[in-house]
Amino acid sequence: MEERIVFSCRCHRMCRETGVEVTGTTQGMHPEADSRSRDAGVIPDYGQFLLTLKVQVAERFERLGDAKIVTLPLDVPAPALAWQIPDPPCHPACSGFDSAEYCRQRWQARMAELRRRPTIQRHRCPFGMLCATVPVVWRGRCLGVCQLVCPQAQGEKLFDRNIELVVLLIENYEAREPELLSRLANPQAVVGAEPVPRMHRNVLRTIEYINSHLSDPTMSVGSIAQLFATNASYLAHLFSQQVHERMSRYIALRRLALAMELLDTTQWQIKRIAVESGHSNTNWFSHTFHEHTGMTPTQYRARSINDENAIA
């Protein structure tokens, strides 16, 4: 029997104005939600994005980590509505001061910057919190954000690991939902949105090559540039400019996201998963995995299994 999930997004202007309640299952949107969305002028992809981002990123992070994140759509299709900066998310850790003028102004500046350059933004707020905004980016468009807030007492090191875990979960999410994200990233679908420059052909080729050759441990910026008969420094600069991520880090994160997927969905030994995700040295793979998630691959798999049993 499919798990039925019902939630409302009260932070986003479109949801408030239409009164849409996003309903769905872990296997896809519920037919009733599709009907209500169409009647309200909201395309089904929007609701599916809200649902899958919440389930695959926010809820997984809460089960694996020791904090909470809030997900929020940003630059997604909103029929008959011009794009505007959404209200600040209501993060549980910010209860009592989330409506402060400082938070509102900081949020507006952050969202405007994300539209220009969608990269991770973090700061230490005057209320004793560590705050980070992690974008969900597809083909150069920032479709949504994940807001992480932790008390300063947690420490910078653990906070950095929580950010890395959010990044990996987003990478994993993007690998699972490429068709949905591609439809949402269509710049013609967003009313009032600024046009997104088309990606350079070599950048698109590079992304496709990386995603289909993650198991190759020799893959590097230099080897890809040589394959495409272009200068490595130029390709790396172009990639960073358009993807807003260094190519070497993009490769590393994609490999770790693949490893997480294999840990979730197979019974393979850690050594095989290391090889399949492009890590020729098992010990280095475990070290890298721990550095990004705060868990060893074995610990991650155990938590994932326990979560599945708890849900069942």
- pLDDT tens digits, residue range 91-120? 888 877 766 777 778 888 887 788 778 889
Q: Which residue has the tokens 């090889």?
A: 275
Name the average pLDDT for the chain: 78
Q: How far apart are CA 217 and CA 147, in angstroms?
A: 33
Residue ranges of the domains in the chain?
A: 57-189, 201-311
pLDDT of residue 79: 43
CATH for 57-189, options being 3.30.450, 2.30.29, 3.10.20, 3.40.190: 3.30.450
* Predicted TM-score (pTM) of this structure: 0.71
Is the confidence at residue 34, as pLDDT, over 80?
no
- Per-residue confidence band for 25, with pLDDT thresholds at 50, 70 and 90: very low
Q: Residue 253: what pLDDT?
A: 92
Angle between helices 232-243 and 201-212 (to 10 degrees): 90
Section 33-43 average pLDDT:
41
Residue 129's DSSP bridge partners are 151
Check whether 226 has a pLDDT greater than 90: yes
- The C-alpha atoms of residue 51 and residue 44 are separated, in whole angstroms, by 11
Residue 169's pLDDT band (boundaries 50, 70, 90)? very high
* Reduced DSSP (H G I as helix, E B as strand, rest coil) percent helix, strand, coil of the chain, to 5: 55, 15, 30
Q: How confident is the model at residue 32 (pLDDT cuts 50, 70, 90)?
A: very low
Distances (CA, A) of 3 to 24, 45, 94, 127, 206: 9, 19, 30, 38, 38
Flag whether pLDDT at 15 surpasses 80.
no
Query: Is the CATH number of domain 201-311 3.40.50.300?
Result: no
Element holding 23 (H helix, E strand): strand 22-25
Confidence check: pLDDT of 164 > 60: yes
Give percent above pLDDT 90 in the chain. 38
- Give 175-193 pLDDT, tens digit per residue: 888 888 888 877 554 444 4
